[in-house]
Chain A
Amino acid sequence: DAGVIQSPRHEVTEMGQEVTLRCKPISGHNSLFWYRQTMMRGLELLIYFNNNVPIDDSGMPEDRFSAKMPNASFSTLKIQPSEPRDSAVYFCASSLLEGLEQYFGPGTRLTVT
């Protein structure tokens, strides 16, 4: 298996623009997680899905952030409009439903100018 796949790997955009991050989990995994990592705040869970259904989105910073999982092999995290404080590395991870062992993707480094 190729592992968790994220795209793009790097994104540079201007404040106010819409940003869409993409994730393909490991085949057969039923849980998918979106994290944000910054120097100041470390690793933060934004949202996670079980069987394509959002379970906990309490970590989503505000209404500018939204996430979808239309099927078991694809998820998106959208920021609209983006702001400079959204600059961070965004990780997607997946796991089997019953375990906490998560497999992380390589991350998307987002820079908002």
Chain B
Amino acid sequence: LAKTTQPISMDSYEGQEVNITCSHNNIATNDYITWYQQFPSQGPRFIIQGYKTKVTNEVASLFIPADRKSSTLSLPRVSLSDTAVYYCLVGEGSYNQGGKLIFGQGTELSVKP
């Protein structure tokens, strides 16, 4: 069963690039890696998802090495509004057949001016 580990907190300044790494040593062959952002008093919001190599969308990039035992969420040029908790989620692609979904404990990112 995949277990995810993330740093508890990170600090950054506006305009910097932030990289948050999640370890998932027991990731299974068909597990996807998904990242969510959560603001206080709100539900998590999808950021990006990947299976291998690199994925990029309009808000972030996701880097996954060949062994897939970790993944790195990259936020380019953060702003104060990026202050939030970031979660990685590892789940089996066939979760609709009884796979497991495991959230990391979350990384609290604080962006300072």
Contacts and interface: CB of A to CB of B under 8 A. Distances in A.
B34 A100 contact: yes
Given A43-B87, A101-B49, A106 B42 contact: yes
B106 A42 contact: yes
Interface range on chain B (Cβ under 8 Å from partner): 20 to 34
A87 to B, nearest CB: 16
B45 A100 contact: no
A17 interface: no
Contacts of A18: none
Contacts of B102: 45
B63 to A, nearest CB: 18
B27 interface: no
B32 A91 contact: no
A43 B103 contact: yes
Interface range on chain A (Cβ under 8 Å from partner): 20 to 34
A56 B99 CA distance: 8
B113 interface: no
A91 B43 contact: yes
A82 interface: no
Given A43-B87, A55-B96, A56-B98, A100 B49 contact: yes
Interface string A48-84: 1010000110000000000000000000000000000
A100 B44 contact: no
B70 to A, nearest CB: 18
Interface in A7-52: 31, 33, 42-45, 48, 50
Interface of B: 32, 34, 41-46, 49, 87, 89, 91, 93, 95-106
Q: Which 7 A-B residue pairs are closest in the complex by CB-CB distance? A: A104-B43, A43-B103, A101-B46, A50-B96, A42-B105, A45-B101, A104-B44
Interface of A: 4, 31, 33, 42-45, 48, 50, 55-56, 91, 93, 97-107
12 contacts: A31-B96, A33-B101, A43-B103, A43-B106, A45-B100, A55-B95, A93-B44, A100-B93, A100-B101, A102-B44, A102-B46, A104-B45
